[in-house]
Amino acid sequence: MRASVGDRLLTHGRIVGQQDRVAEVVEVLGPNGAPPYRVRFADGHETVMSPGPDTVVRRQGPETDVG
Protein backbone atom coordinates (compact mmCIF):
# COMPACT_ATOMS: atom_id res chain seq x y z
CA MET A 1 0.00 0.00 0.00
CA ARG A 2 1.22 3.46 -0.89
CA ALA A 3 -0.42 6.77 0.00
CA SER A 4 0.39 10.47 -0.08
CA VAL A 5 -0.63 13.43 2.06
CA GLY A 6 -4.18 14.38 1.10
CA ASP A 7 -5.21 10.85 0.07
CA ARG A 8 -8.12 9.26 1.90
CA LEU A 9 -8.07 5.82 3.51
CA LEU A 10 -11.38 3.97 3.33
CA THR A 11 -11.62 1.17 5.89
CA HIS A 12 -14.55 -1.17 5.32
CA GLY A 13 -16.65 -2.25 8.30
CA ARG A 14 -15.85 -5.83 9.28
CA ILE A 15 -19.16 -6.78 10.88
CA VAL A 16 -22.76 -6.38 9.76
CA GLY A 17 -24.01 -2.90 10.55
CA GLN A 18 -20.56 -1.39 11.10
CA GLN A 19 -20.03 1.73 9.00
CA ASP A 20 -17.05 2.26 6.72
CA ARG A 21 -14.56 4.80 8.08
CA VAL A 22 -12.77 7.44 6.04
CA ALA A 23 -9.60 9.18 7.21
CA GLU A 24 -7.41 11.76 5.47
CA VAL A 25 -3.66 11.13 5.38
CA VAL A 26 -1.98 14.14 7.01
CA GLU A 27 1.54 12.67 7.28
CA VAL A 28 3.34 9.68 5.75
CA LEU A 29 5.69 8.16 8.32
CA GLY A 30 7.02 5.21 6.28
CA PRO A 31 9.51 5.26 3.40
CA ASN A 32 8.27 5.98 -0.15
CA GLY A 33 4.59 6.34 0.78
CA ALA A 34 4.43 3.15 2.86
CA PRO A 35 2.65 2.89 6.23
CA PRO A 36 2.37 3.97 8.95
CA TYR A 37 0.32 7.10 8.33
CA ARG A 38 -0.88 9.88 10.60
CA VAL A 39 -4.55 10.31 9.69
CA ARG A 40 -7.43 12.62 10.62
CA PHE A 41 -11.06 11.52 10.79
CA ALA A 42 -14.05 13.78 10.06
CA ASP A 43 -14.60 14.39 13.79
CA GLY A 44 -11.07 15.85 14.07
CA HIS A 45 -9.56 12.82 15.83
CA GLU A 46 -6.00 12.06 14.70
CA THR A 47 -4.11 8.79 15.08
CA VAL A 48 -1.24 6.82 13.57
CA MET A 49 -2.32 3.72 11.67
CA SER A 50 -0.91 0.90 9.56
CA PRO A 51 -3.91 -0.13 7.44
CA GLY A 52 -4.82 -3.75 6.92
CA PRO A 53 -6.29 -5.58 3.91
CA ASP A 54 -9.76 -4.11 4.59
CA THR A 55 -8.51 -0.61 3.67
CA VAL A 56 -8.20 1.02 0.24
CA VAL A 57 -6.54 4.28 -0.76
CA ARG A 58 -8.60 6.93 -2.52
CA ARG A 59 -6.11 9.14 -4.27
CA GLN A 60 -6.35 12.90 -4.11
CA GLY A 61 -7.88 14.07 -7.35
CA PRO A 62 -9.84 11.71 -9.64
CA GLU A 63 -11.72 9.00 -7.73
CA THR A 64 -9.58 5.87 -7.94
CA ASP A 65 -9.36 3.04 -5.42
CA VAL A 66 -5.99 1.41 -4.94
CA GLY A 67 -5.58 -1.74 -2.82
Task: State the pLDDT at residue 67.
Answer: 52
DSSP track, 1-66: ----TT-EEEE--SSTTPPPEEEEEEEE-SGGGPSPEEEEETTS-EEEE---TTEEEE-SSS--EE
Q: Is residue 3 part of a domain?
A: no
Domain count, the chain: 1
30-67 pLDDT per residue, tens? 999 999 999 999 999 999 999 999 999 999 865 555 55
Distance of alpha carbon 42 from alpha carbon 46, whole angstroms: 9
Confidence grade of residue 10 (pLDDT, cut at 50, 70, 90):
very high
Looking from the CA of 20 toward its CB, the CA atoms found within 13 Å total 10
Q: Is residue 36 part of a domain?
A: yes
Domain limits at 36? 8-59
Is a pLDDT exceeding 80 seen at residue 2? yes
Q: Is residue 64 part of a domain?
A: no
